[in-house]
Structure 1
Amino acid sequence: MFKNALKQFRVLGILEGSSLLVLLFIAMPLKYFMDMPEAVSVFGMIHGILFTVYCVAIIYAAFAVRWPFRFTIGAFVAAFIPFGNFILDSRLKLLETN
């Protein structure tokens, strides 16, 4: 259960982080340079849904993997820092190999 929950969380983190990259570097330029605000509406909603699921997944992973309280709080803080989930993923990769 430990490895499976951690792997699922890491995959979700990569998806959520990638949705932010798409939103910032594809949808936002389309909105402001090509006058296509629909791109931000669509990708913003996708990112919002993935972010919400990611926050719920932090809680699930904290119980499944038995993270210490400080690590769980750190995961939440990393979720609100742009690209923080990629940094968290590198730490989780070390946990997964152990």
Structure 2
Amino acid sequence: MKNIFRIISFLEGVSYLLLLFVAVPIKYFQGDTSYVKMLGMPHGVLFMLYLVLAVALKKEMKWNVRKLGIVCMASVIPFGTFYVDKKYFQK
């Protein structure tokens, strides 16, 4: 389950960065909403999977509520999922 979470975490982080730093500027500077529409749904699905897997991993990783909160909050901060991977999953 940890490996699946790490993969979803990486994909969620990349999709968030693409949405935030590529699609949104194109939307507001060029008026083209197609990139937001194209990246928005996959990012939303990955975000939900990230949260569900984080809650499922709480017991396995022996996280307290504070650590679970940090892991969940990291999903809304740019580069946060990469921080979680480095801090909690790499040996």
TM over 0.5, shorter chain:
yes
- The total of aligned residue pairs comes to 91
Aligned to 2:84: 88
Consecutive aligned runs of 4 or more in structure 1 exceeding 6 Å deviation: none
Of 26, 50, 73 in structure 2, the residue corresponding to residue 54 of structure 1 is: 50
Q: How many Å apart are 1:11 and its aligned residue? A: 1.2
TM-score by length of 1: 0.78
Which sections of structure 2, spanning at least 5 residues, go unmatched? none
| Residue identity opposite 1:34 in structure 2 | Q
- Does 2:53 correspond to 1:66? no
Using the alignment, how far apart are the partners of 1:84 and 1:61 within structure 2? 17
Larger radius of gyration, structure 1 or 2?
1
Which sections of structure 1, spanning at least 5 residues, go unmatched? none
TM-score by length of 2: 0.83
Using the alignment, how far apart are the partners of 1:73 and 1:31 within structure 2? 32
Q: For the aligned residues, what is the CA RMSD?
A: 1.7
Of all paired residues, the percent bearing the same amino acid is 36
